[in-house]
C-alpha cells in the first residue's frame, strides 16, 4: 500500500470512529495532526491525580518506596477516567519496578515525576536487567523535573567493561518495552548501571529535552539505546555518557535524532550489528542538527567481523558540529572492542545509501574520516558532502553547560531575567574549557542585553536557546538601538528552537515609517557587531521593532535555516541587514517582513544569499547607498566567474573545481584584484600560486586574493608566492591562504623571492616586489621535502605583516643527516624536521604553532623587525644537542610571549646585534635556560641592548638566566639587560654571568673576554637550585662588569653535595670572580 493510500484509509477510519468514541479519537487526532477541535461537553470521567505519598511513599532517600509506587500505579492505571501518576518533590529510594499496562484510562496516561528517584546500589537487588520499566502501554506522557539516579558509581562500574569480560548484569535505568504513541519529556537521568534509556519494540515515541549524564569512563552506559523500534524521535536533548550517546540497534526503522548534544561519550552510533544470526535490518535513520563535543567518535556505524548476513541502509548524518572528536566520521566493519573476536572472515553486514552531509568542526586523531568497509560485502552508495574537519587548537578542557535557570532566570514571561542572563554569560564566556550558554524551554522576558567578548573558551562558544525570548514593549526601555547584541566575538554557534519575539506590534510600529519622518528609535532584535567565524542556525525571530537580524562589521558568518516573520505593513522591519561585513552566507532561510527581506548596505563584501524565500516584504536589496559621505564600497556580492590563470582581472571566484596540471593549478598574475578560490582540489601540479611577479617594469599590483577551504594533493608546491630576483618595484598585498589541506606536498608554504626556474636569472640584486599583509591560517597535512614552511623574502624590501596561525604540518621524508639552513623552515606541529627561520621579515606574527625535535635551532629570527611570537610550543629532549628553542640574531622589537619551550640547549638565546627584545610569560625546561650570547666569538660584533625577560618560569634546566661571552674575545658590548619576576624550580645555575664560556674546553684562554657588560638587573628571582651556588658572577678580569644589580633575589639550595661535571666552583652560596664595578645587592637571601 502506498503512503498516500495509507493516509486515505487512516482518515476514513478516524472519520468513522468519531461517531463511536469522539472524545478519544479527536484527542488522538489533535496530538498527532495538531488541528482537532476540543470535544463538546464535559469529559465522561473525572480527572484524578494519584500521588505516591498518599500511598505511603517517603521522600527521605532511605526508605524503600517500591510497594507504595506499585500501589499508586495500580490505582492510576485502572482508573477509568483521565489520570496522573504523580511523584512530588523529594528523594525517593525505589527498587526494581515494572509499570505495566494496558491501562483503563480514558485518554493519555500522565506520569509526572517531580522528585528525584534513586536506585539501590547493589547489582544483586535487581532480578532482571532493568530498574524502572514501562511495558505494554499506549499513549503515556512521562515528564517532570526529576533526575533518575542509577548510582552505578557505587558498585556497578567497578566490574570490568562488558567489552572485556562477561558482566554480572547491565541494569537499564529507564526501559520502555512495547510502548507506543508516547512522549518522554524534560526529565534527567544520571549514573546508570548500564543503559540510561532503552526503547525496545517501541513505536511512535518522542524523547524530547532529556538530559543524561555519566562520566566518560563509566562502562557500558549508553545514553539512549533503540532496539527493534520504529518512528522514534529524539529531539533537543543533552547526553554525556561512558558509551554511545545514542545507539541504534537491529530492527530499528524510521528514527530521527535532531538538535541533540553528545559529549562525553562514544558518539552517535548505528550498531553494533551482525553479532547474532537473523538480525532484522536497520533502515531510514537520520541524525540531524546535532553537536558532538569531546567524544571518542562522532558519527559511527559499527559491525562485527565474521558476522552473519544482515543489512543497514538509508542512513543520514547531516548538519553535525564536531568539537575535538577523536573519530568524527567512522564506518568500522571490523569492530572488535575486546580484540578477541573471530576474524576468520569479514563482516557480512551490507551497508548502503549512507550520507554524511555538512559535517564540520575539529578532530583530535590522525583521521577525520575513516571508512573501514567489509572486504567481502562492499559499502555501497556512500556520500560525503560538505565535510569540513580540522585539527583542533590547544589542549582539551571539560565541557560545561551554563543554564540561565541556575543563575536565577524564571520562564514565567513576566519576571525580568536580564541580570540572570548577564551572570550566565559572564560565567560561560570566562570558562577556560569548552562551554555552552543555555536557555531551557519556557518564555523568558529579557531587557536590552549585550553578550560581549572576547571569551576565554577553548573552542567554539555554543549558545543554545530552546525557550522563547520576549522583549519589553516600550521603546524607552532600550538605551541603545538593539535588544540582544553579540559583539567582539570569534567562533560562536547560536542555535535552538527559540523564537525571539520583539513585540514591535505593541508600540513601536505605531510610529510612522522612518522613511517618512524621524523615528524615536529603531530597535534591532538580534545584532552581531564585530563577530567572526560564526554560525546562526535554526532560530526564529518575529515582530521586531526594527531590523530582525543585523550584521555589522562581521566576517565569515553563516546564517542558516533561520525563520523571520513580521506582517507586510510592519514599518522598517528588515529581515536581515548586512553592513560593513564580509564573507557572509545566508542560506536556506524563510523571511517575511515589512521591509527588505535581506538588505546589503555600505562596506559589505563577499555576501552570498542562497536557497532563501522572501515574502511578504520589499525583496532582496543592495542599498540604499550614497546617503552619507565617504561610504565604503560594496563588492563581490555573489559573483560566479571561473578561471585558472588570472591576469589583470577582478572579482573572480573559482569554486568547487578539480584541477590537475603540469604547472600551477591556479596562478594569479599581475593586476589581479579581489579573487577568491574556494572548495577547489589541486593535484598533480605546482599548487596555488601568486606570481611570478616582477618580471617587467610597471607591473600593476596584486591585492585581496584569498584561497579558502581547498586541498592540494601530491603537488610540488602548496601555497606559493613567487617573485623574480633583480625585479623592478611592484606590490602584492592582502593575500590569504586559509583552511588548506596538504597531502604529501613538497613545499606546502613557500614565499620565494629568488624565483628562478631556469637557474639563469640576473641575480645581481634582490627582488623589489613588496609583499605585505599575508596570512597562512589553518594549513594542515603532510609534506615530502625537508621543510614545511619556507619564507625566502627579499633582503632589500622586507616581507611585512606575515602571519602564520594554526599551521600543523607533518613531514613524511626521512631527515637528512645534516639539514640545510634555509631561509624559513617549519613543520608546525610535527616530529623530525627542521627549524623555523625568519630572515628579513618585519611586522609579522607567529602564533599557535608547535615545533619539535629540530636538528638545530627550532625557531630563528635573523634581521627581523617587529615580530611577535605568541603561544608557541617547542619540545625536544634535554640531551638533544644544539637545539635552541628560539634564537634571535640581529633583530629588533621582538616579542616572545606565553610560550612553552623544552630543548637540549638554550630555551631562548639572544645573539649579537639584537635590540629591544621582550620575553614574557614563557616557560623554559628542560634546557639551558634563558641566555644572552654567546657573544665575542668574531670581530666587529654589533652590540646587544634593551633586552628584558619578565614573568617567566625555568624548571629543571641547567641554567636559569645567563649571560655568556667567549674568552680572548674581540671588543663588543651588551647593556641594559633585565631579568625580572623569574621563578626557578630546581635549576642548576639560577643566575649566571659566564665570561669564560668555553663549552668544548678547547678555547684560547690567553686573555680575558673583552665584551663589556653593563646595566644588568636581576629582580625578584626566586625559587630553588640544585648546585652549590645560586648566583655565580664570573666577569672578565680585564673589562669589568658594571652596574650589576640584584634586588629581591630569594633562592634556596636543595643539594649541598652537588658538583658541576666540568669545573669545580667555590663552595659558596654566592660566587663572584673577575672585576665588578657597582655591584648592588638588596633584600636578597641565598640559603
Catalytic residues, by residue number, are 243, 266
Give the CA distances from residue 418 to residues 307, 372, 411, 471, 475, in Å, rounded to whole numbers and listed in that order: 57, 51, 12, 10, 16
Hey, how many other C-beta atoms are within 10 angstroms of the C-beta on 309?
13
**SS3 for 725-781, per residue?**
CCCCCEEEEEEEEEEEEEEEECEEEEEECCCCCCCCCCCCCCCCEEEEEEEEEEEEE
Beta bridge partners of 621: 599
- Quote the strand ranges of 956-1067, DSSP E: 959-965, 972-987, 989-994, 1011-1025, 1031-1034, 1041-1047, 1050-1053
Give the CA distances from residue 400 to residues 436, 493, 537, 685, in Å, rounded to whole numbers and listed in that order: 6, 15, 21, 46
Calpha distance 859→1023 (Å, rounded):
28
Q: Which of 735, 681, 739, 711 is nearest to 556 (CA)?
A: 739
Q: Which of 540, 543, 576, 532 is nearest to 561 (CA)?
A: 540
171, 216 in Cβ contact below 8 A?
no
Q: Which of 715, 868, 866, 873 is nearest to 807 (CA)?
A: 873
Q: Kindly provide the b/e burial profile for residues 528-560, where b requires at least 16 CB atoms within 10 angstroms of the residue's own CB.
A: bbbbbebbbbbbbbbbbbbbbbbbbebbbbbbb
Cell 633575589 identifies what position?
1049
Hey, how many other C-beta atoms are within 10 angstroms of the C-beta on 663?
12
Cell 589553518 identifies what position?
778
Calpha distance 953→493 (Å, rounded):
36
Hey, how many other C-beta atoms are within 10 angstroms of the C-beta on 270?
27
Grid coordinates given for 359:
559535517
Calpha distance 245→549 (Å, rounded):
34
Q: Which of 575, 404, 545 is nearest to 480 (CA)?
A: 545
> Which distant-in-sequence residues (6+ apart) come within 8 Å of 544 by Cβ?
502, 504, 523, 524, 525, 566, 570, 573
Torsion of CA 30, 36, 41, 45, to 10 degrees: -10
Amino acid at each position: 500500500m502506498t503512503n498516500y493510500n495509507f493516509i486515505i484509509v487512516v482518515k476514513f477510519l478516524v472519520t468513522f470512529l468519531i461517531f463511536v468514541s469522539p472524545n478519544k479519537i479527536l484527542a488522538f487526532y489533535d496530538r498527532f495532526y495538531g488541528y482537532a477541535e476540543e470535544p463538546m461537553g464535559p469529559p465522561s470521567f473525572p480527572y484524578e491525580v494519584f500521588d505516591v505519598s498518599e500511598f505511603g511513599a517517603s521522600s527521605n532517600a532511605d526508605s524503600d518506596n517500591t510497594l507504595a509506587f506499585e500501589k499508586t500505579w495500580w490505582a492510576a492505571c485502572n482508573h477509568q477516567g483521565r489520570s496522573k501518576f504523580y511523584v512530588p518533590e523529594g528523594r525517593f529510594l525505589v527498587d526494581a519496578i515494572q509499570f505495566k499496562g494496558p491501562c483503563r484510562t480514558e485518554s493519555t496516561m500522565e506520569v509526572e515525576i517531580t522528585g528525584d528517584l534513586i536506585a539501590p546500589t547493589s547489582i544483586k537487588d535487581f532480578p532482571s536487567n532493568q530498574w524502572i520499566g514501562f511495558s505494554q502501554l499506549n499513549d503515556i506522557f512521562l515528564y517532570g523535573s526529576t533526575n533518575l539516579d542509577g548510582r552505578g558509581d557505587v558498585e556497578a562500574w567497578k566490574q570490568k567493561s562488558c567489552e572485556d569480560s562477561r558482566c554480572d548484569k547491565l541494569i537499564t535505568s529507564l526501559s520502555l518495552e512495547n510502548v507506543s504513541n508516547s512522549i518522554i519529556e524534560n526529565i534527567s537521568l544520571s549514573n546508570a548501571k548500564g543503559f540510561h534509556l532503552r526503547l525496545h519494540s517501541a513505536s511512535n515515541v518522542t524523547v524530547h529535552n532529556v538530559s543524561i549524564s555519566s562520566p566518560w569512563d563509566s562502562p557500558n552506559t549508553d545514553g539512549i539505546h533503540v532496539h527493534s523500534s520504529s518512528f522514534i524521535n529524539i529531539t533537543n536533548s543533552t547526553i554525556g555518557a561512558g558509551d554511545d550517546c545514542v545507539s541504534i540497534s537491529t530492527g530499528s526503522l524510521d528514527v530521527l535524532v535532531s538538535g541533540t548534544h553528545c559529549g562525553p561519550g562514544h558518539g552517535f552510533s548505528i550498531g553494533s550489528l551482525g553479532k547474532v544470526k537473523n538480525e532484522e535490518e536497520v533502515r531510514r535513520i537520520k541524525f540531524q542538527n546535532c553537536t558532538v563535543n569531546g567524544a571518542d567518535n562522532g558519527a559511527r556505524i559499527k559491525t562485527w567481523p565474521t558476522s552473519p548476513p544482515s543489512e543497514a541502509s538509508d542512513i543520514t548524518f547531516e548538519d553535525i558540529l564536531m568539537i575535538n572528536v577523536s573519530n568524527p566520521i567512522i564506518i568500522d566493519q571490523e569492530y572488535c572492542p575486546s580484540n578477541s573476536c573471530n576474524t576468520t572472515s569479514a563482516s557480512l553486514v551490507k551497508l548502503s545509501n549512507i550520507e554524511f552531509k555538512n559535517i564540520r568542526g575539529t578532530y583530535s586523531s590522525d583521521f577525520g574520516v575513516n571508512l573501514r568497509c567489509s572486504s567481502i560485502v562492499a559499502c555501497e552508495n556512500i556520500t560525503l558532502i560538505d565535510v569540513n574537519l580540522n585539527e583542533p587548537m590547544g589542549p582539551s578542557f571539560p565541557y560545561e553547560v551554563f543554564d540561565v535557570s541556575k543563575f536565577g532566570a524564571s520562564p514565567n514571561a513576566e519576571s525580568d531575567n536580564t541580570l540572570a542572563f548577564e551572570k550566565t554569560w559572564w560565567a560561560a564566556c570566562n570558562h577556560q574549557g569548552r562551554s555552552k550558554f543555555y536557555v531551557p524551554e519556557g518564555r523568558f522576558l529579557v531587557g536590552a542585553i549585550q553578550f560581549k567578548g572576547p571569551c576565554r573558551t577553548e573552542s567554539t562558544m555554543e549558545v543554545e536557546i530552546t525557550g522563547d525570548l520576549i522583549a519589553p514593549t516600550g521603546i524607552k526601555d532600550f538605551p541603545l538601538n538593539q535588544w540582544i547584541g553579540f559583539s567582539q566575538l570569534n567562533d560562536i554557534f547560536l542555535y535552538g528552537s527559540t523564537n525571539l519575539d520583539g513585540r514591535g506590534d505593541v508600540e513601536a510600529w505605531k510610529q510612522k515609517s522612518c522613511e517618512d519622518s524621524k523615528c524615536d528609535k529603531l530597535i534591532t532584535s538580534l545584532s552581531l557587531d564585530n563577530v567572526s567565524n560564526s554560525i546562526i542556525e535554526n532560530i526564529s525571530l518575529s515582530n521586531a521593532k526594527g531590523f530582525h537580524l543585523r550584521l555589522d562589521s562581521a566576517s565569515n558568518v553563516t546564517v542558516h535555516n533561520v525563520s523571520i516573520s513580521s506582517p507586510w505593513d510592519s514599518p522598517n522591519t528588515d529581515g536581515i541587514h548586512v553592513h560593513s561585513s564580509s564573507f557572509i552566507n545566508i542560506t536556506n532561510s524563510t523571511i517575511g517582513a515589512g521591509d527588505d527581506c535581506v538588505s546589503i548596505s555600505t562596506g559589505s563584501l563577499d555576501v552570498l544569499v542562497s536557497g532563501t524565500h522572501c515574502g511578504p516584504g520589499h525583496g532582496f536589496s543592495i542599498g540604499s547607498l550614497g546617503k552619507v559621505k565617504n561610504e565604503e564600497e560594496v563588492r563581490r556580492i555573489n559573483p560566479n566567474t571561473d578561471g585558472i590563470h588570472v591576469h589583470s582581472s577582478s572579482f573572480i571566484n573559482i569554486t568547487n573545481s578539480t584541477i590537475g596540471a603540469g604547472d600551477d593549478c591556479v596562478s594569479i598574475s599581475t593586476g589581479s584584484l579581489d579573487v577568491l578560490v574556494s572548495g577547489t582540489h589541486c593535484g598533480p601540479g605546482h599548487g596555488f600560486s601568486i606570481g611570478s611577479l616582477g618580471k617587467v617594469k610597471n607591473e600593476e599590483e596584486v591585492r585581496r586574493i584569498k584561497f579558502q577551504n581547498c586541498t592540494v594533493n601530491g603537488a610540488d608546491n602548496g601555497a606559493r608566492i613567487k617573485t623574480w630576483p633583480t625585479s623592478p618595484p611592484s606590490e602584492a598585498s592582502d593575500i590569504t591562504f586559509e583552511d588548506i589541506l596538504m597531502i604529501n606536498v613538497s613545499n606546502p608554504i613557500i614565499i620565494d623571492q629568488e624565483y628562478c626556474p631556469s637557474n639563469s636569472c640576473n641575480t645581481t640584486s634582490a627582488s623589489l616586489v613588496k609583499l605585505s599583509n599575508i596570512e597562512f591560517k589553518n594549513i594542515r597535512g603532510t609534506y615530502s621535502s625537508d621543510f614545511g614552511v619556507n619564507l625566502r623574502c627579499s633582503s632589500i624590501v622586507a616581507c611585512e605583516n606575515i602571519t602564520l596561525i594554526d599551521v600543523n604540518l607533518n613531514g613524511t621524508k626521512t631527515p637528512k643527516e645534516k639539514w640545510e639552513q634555509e631561509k624559513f623552515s617549519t613543520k608546525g606541529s610535527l616530529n623530525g624536521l627542521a627549524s623555523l627561520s625568519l630572515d628579513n621579515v618585519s611586522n609579522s606574527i607567529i602564533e599557535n604553532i608547535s615545533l619539535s625535535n629540530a636538528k638545530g635551532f627550532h625557531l630563528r629570527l635573523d634581521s627581523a623587525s617587529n615580530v611577535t611570537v605568541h603561544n608557541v610550543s617547542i619540545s625536544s629532549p634535554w640531551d638533544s644537542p644544539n637545539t635552541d628553542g628560539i634564537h634571535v640574531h640581529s633583530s629588533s622589537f621582538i616579542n616572545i610571549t606565553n610560550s612553552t619551550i623544552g630543548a637540549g640547549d638554550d630555551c631562548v638565546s639572544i645573539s649579537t646585534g639584537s635590540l629591544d627584545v621582550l620575553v614574557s610569560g614563557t616557560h623554559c625546561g628542560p634546557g639551558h635556560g634563558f641566555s644572552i650570547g654567546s657573544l665575542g666569538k668574531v670581530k666587529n660584533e654589533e652590540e646587544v641592548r634593551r633586552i628584558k625577560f619578565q614573568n617567566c618560569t625555568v624548571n629543571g634546566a641547567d641554567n636559569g638566566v645567563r649571560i655568556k661571552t667567549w674568552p680572548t674575545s674581540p671588543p663588543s658590548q651588551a647593556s641594559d639587560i633585565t631579568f625580572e619576576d623569574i621563578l626557578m624550580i630546581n635549576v642548576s645555575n639560577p643566575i649566571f654571568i659566564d665570561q669564560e664560556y668555553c663549552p668544548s674546553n678547547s678555547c684560547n684562554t690567553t686573555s680575558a673576554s673583552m665584551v663589556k657588560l653593563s646595566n644588568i638587573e636581576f629582580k625578584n628571582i626566586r625559587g630553588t637550585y640544585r648546585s652549590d651556588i645560586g648566583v655565580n658572577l664570573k666577569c672578565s678580569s680585564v673589562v669589568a662588569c658594571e652596574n650589576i644589580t640584584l634586588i629581591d633575589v630569594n633562592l634556596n639550595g636543595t643539594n649541598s653535595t652537588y658538583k658541576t661535571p666540568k669545573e669545580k666552583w667555590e663552595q659558596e652560596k654566592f660566587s663572584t670572580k673577575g672585576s665588578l664595578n657597582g655591584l648592588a645587592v638588596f633584600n636578597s637571601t641565598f640559603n
